[in-house]
Amino acid sequence: MVDVAFQPNTVAAAPVTRRRASLRATLKRKSTSAFLMTLPLILLVGILVVYPALYSLHLATLNKSMQRFVGFGNFTFLFKRETFWMVVEQSCIFAISAVIFKALIGFIVAHFVHNIPAKGQRKWRGMLLVPWVIPPAMSTLAWLWLFDPSYSAFNYTLSFFHIGPIPWTGDANWARFSVILVNVWYGAPFFMIMYLASLKSVPEQLYEAAAIDGANWWQRIWYVTLPMMRNIIAITTLFSLIVTFANFDIVRILTAGGPLDSTHLFATWAFKIGIEGSDIPLGASVSLFMFPILAIAAIFILRDINKRGNEA
Amino acid sequence: MATTFTIDKAAPTRAVKPRSMSRDRTWALRWSYFFLTLFAIFSLVPPIYMLITSLKTSAEISAATNPWWVFHPSLGYYQELLTSNMYLTFFRNSALVSVFVVIITMLISIPAAFALARMRFWGSATLATGVFLTYLIPDTLLFLPLFKMFAWFGEVTGIHLINKWYVLVIVYPTLTVPFCTWIMIGYFASIPKELDEAAIIDGASWFQTLTRIFIPVALPGLIAATIFAFTVSWAQFLYPLVFTTSTDQLVLPVGIITTLVKGDVFNWGQIMTGALLGAAPPLIIYAFLMDYYIAGLTAGATKG
């Protein structure tokens, strides 16, 4: 790319040295203005993201009144509490199973949408993406109402099949199932739309070649579709794992962590301790446990970006 | 599984027996439509149930008749909420916050994306990657330190940000700017270099190149980023829950949950109506600008 900005007033007749100086000045000005243009971004990210992230590390080492340094005191306290291990377990169960189901449903639905005639696809895609569009706080309220202990519309319907009444949010295991169900409902459309976009980019010739070689439907998915979609599957899964691990809205509204703390995730428990229990340092220590998954994701993504950079 | 079998078999195979293939194809289509209908029902049940409940009267809700049908439709709840000052305040706060956040996001991320996409400078590549990583840091990791920071800021400067709706205008850009910058970098980078070189040769400044060339050409990306910023700030729940408490400072999601639920009494008709009205702006935007919405959604991952 030509980085030199041609100035109409620097005429060719000007002495060589002066031209070089002005060139350097232009370059300098360009990088300065570029820096100025990114400065608001840098400030925003620095003050409101990077600093708080580091500050939470510091906060986690203080006592409840935030006056005394306790080192790893908060962490050793957490490790001794049974609730903490329940939260760890529930966070992992919740995130992993929700992401697996979201990915599976997204993949299957994307295939179905891809299969029908192109002119009808828009309509179906539009309907299937609705859960992703509604703010999760609002749609979770609808789920809460569907799960209501005495007026549950689901239990009403199920009663015709002589099933239930199911304690959707009242029983620990059902509550765990319910939060995962709502999360899958909310997140599956995202996977669907991603997979659909990437399905459309798989060249049709590959399937034709596979068909000529006598591949059956499973071999076609396994040897053509999945390898072609590997990147997008990896990235969406990683994204979703982070977002699901850090989920707050759904669990907070649906069960608020109950019954008996059995559905708490790191985020909701950190909120309960830090804001409702006003023990900010302990809450900060809890939320720091979301960090490892972030770090792993960051490493993978950085590797991916570097690889792409080399290819380009 | 059997369904996929028929589908995939039908699609790419060259016609050996045309009649059987078209029959296979028809069945594959029928199965596809059948399962799509099932999934569509699964997707649409909660919003439709919101609508059904919002049209009932409180007597009908507590009578526990068939929950899936409205026997005596009434717009009572809509009237109740749309004339309630409190609900309108939530709506106004949400609208103000979202509009300001969209403006701030665009003002920050467009110049930054332009600089990062076109004007290579020291550390620009690292910065672009860093911006992307920032997008991954969840709000749930930051709300406690931010809460403490704002409290400290209030003590030191006397400007109390906690429990004011405009604190959200300061915080939300952390959620929107990284992603918007990232997708704008993608859109800007896809514009041919010849275009801005031509502009510069014609004597345009960098600023003019941005406003006259880049913004018009990358308008679809700009719309996608705007929609993203709007929906994110409209839907955000954790930050307003943490930073605002007085009823006149609340935004919609938190307002509905904290004020319409009185103690243990859930006024479900009101809650569903409020939630549906609250979900309306993103849904309307989505209905009209679906393609931009999806473009923004897929751009983030495919270009990552």
Whether B207 has a pLDDT exceeding 70, the answer reads yes
In chain B, residues with a C-beta closer than 8 Å to the C-beta of A112 are 32, 35-36, 39
pLDDT of amino acid A98? 92
- For residue B10, what pLDDT band results from cuts at 50, 70 and 90? very low
Q: Residue A59 is nearest to which of B115, B144, B235, comparing CB atoms?
A: B144
**Quick one: pLDDT at residue A288?**
87
CB contact under 8 A, B115 and A34: yes
The torsion defined by the Cα of A21, A26, A28 and A31, in degrees rounded to 10, comes to -160
Adjacent-strand bridge partners of A62: A69
Helical axes B85-118 vs B219-235, angle rounded to 10°: 140
Cβ atoms of residues B209 and B216 within 8 Å: no
pLDDT score at A24: 58
Q: How far is B101 from chain A (nearest CA, A)?
A: 13
Pairing type for strands B265-266 and B261-262 reads antiparallel
**pLDDT tens digits for range A228-240:** 888 788 878 888 8
Tokens 């669990």 belong to residue: A251
**Mean pLDDT, all residues of chain B:** 82
- Using the beta-carbon criterion (under 8 Å), do B116 and A115 form an inter-chain contact? no
CB-CB contact of B274 with B256 (8 Å): yes
Tell if the CB–CB gap between A157 and B68 is shorter than 8 Å: yes
A278 chain-B contacts, CB cut-off 8 A: none
Contact A134 B282 (CB under 8 A): yes
Which among A52, A128, A145 has the least Cβ separation from residue B145? A52
In sequence order, what are the residues at sequence separation of 6 or more whose Cβ sits closer than 8 angstroms to the Cβ of residue A117? B29
With CB atoms and an 8 Å threshold, state whether A153 touches B67. yes
Q: How many CB atoms lie within 10 A of CB A218?
A: 12
Q: Extract the tokens encoding B165.
A: 């709706």
pLDDT (average), residues B184-211: 84
Give the pair of three-digit tokens for residue A304.
């991916």
Q: Which residue has the higher pLDDT, A97 or B123?
A: A97
| Residue A56 Rama label (left phi>0; alpha psi -120 to 50; beta) | alpha
The token pair that represents A216 in the structure block = 């059956």
Please tell me which of the candidates A55, A117, A122 has its beta carbon nearest to residue B149: A55
Q: With an 8 Å Cβ cutoff, are B139 and A283 in contact?
A: no
Look up residue A107 and give its two tokens. 């993949």
Three-state SS at B265:
strand
Q: Choose from A57, A112, A119, A190 for mutation: most chain B CBs within 10 A.
A: A112
Cβ atoms within 10 Å, residue A62:
20
Query: What pLDDT is recorded for position B95?
Result: 92
Residue type, B134: T
CA distance A92 to chain B (A): 16
What average pLDDT does this structure show over B190-209?
84
Tell me the one-letter amino acid at A34.
A
Judge: B40–A34 Cβ closer than 8 Å, yes or no. no
Question: What pLDDT does residue B14 have?
Answer: 52
- Which tens digits make up the pLDDT trace of B126-157? 888 888 788 878 888 888 888 888 888 888 88
Angstrom distances, CA of residue A201 to CA of A8, A70, A71:
46, 55, 52
Residues A272 and A226: their CA atoms lie apart, in Å, by 42
A92-111 pLDDT per residue, tens? 899 889 999 999 999 989 88
What pLDDT, on a 0 to 100 scale, did the predictor assign at position B7? 46
Per-residue pLDDT, A18 = 54
Answer yes or no: do B46 and A139 touch at CB < 8 A.
Answer: yes
| Count of beta carbons in the 10 Å neighbourhood of residue A251 | 27
- How far is Cα A266 from Cα A261, in angstroms, rounded to an integer? 11
The Cα of A274 is separated from the nearest Cα of chain B by a number of Å equal to 7
**pLDDT reported for residue B3:** 41
> Which of B33, B108, B283 shows the shortest C-beta gap to A40?
B108
- The nearest alpha carbon in chain B to A135 belongs to B235
Cβ-based contacts of A33 with chain B (< 8 Å): 115, 119, 206
Q: Which of B141, B146, B183, B195 to mutate to test the interface with A (most CBs of A within 10 A)?
A: B141
Quick one: pLDDT at residue A11? Answer: 42
Query: Which of B100, B96, B53, B72 lies closest to B260, judged by CA?
Result: B53
| pLDDT attached to residue B99 | 93
More confident residue, A20 or B84: B84
Least confident of A26-35, A61-70, B21-30, B77-86: A26-35
pLDDT beyond 50 at B98: yes
Q: Return the structure tokens found at A85.
A: 């291990």
Residue B79: per-residue pLDDT: 87
Instruction: Say if residue B6's pLDDT is above 60.
Output: no
Has residue B256 got a pLDDT over 90? no
- Comparing CB atoms, the residue among A53, A137, A146 nearest residue B253 is A137
Chain A residues lying within 8 Å of B170, measured CB to CB: 48
CB contact under 8 A, B46 and A142: yes
CA distance B76 to chain A (A): 19
User: Which residue in A has a C-alpha nearest to residue B287's C-alpha?
Assistant: A126
What residues in chain A have per-residue pLDDT under 70?
A: 1-29, 304-312
CB contact (8 A) between residue A40 and residue B286:
no
Tokens found for residue B188? 């800007």
Inter-chain CB proximity A133 and B197 less than 8 Å: no
With contacts defined as CB-CB under 8 Å, which chain A residues touch B271?
A: 141, 145
pLDDT recorded at residue A151:
78
Q: Do B302 and A211 touch (CB under 8 A)?
A: no
pTM summary value? 0.83
> pLDDT higher for B253 or B294?
B253
Q: Is A69 exposed, middle or buried (0-12, 13-18, 19+ CB in 10 A)?
A: exposed
Predicted pLDDT of residue B105: 93
Q: Are B303 and B182 in contact (CB under 8 A)?
A: yes
- Residue A221 CB-density burial (10 A; 0-12 exposed, 13-18 middle, 19+ buried): middle
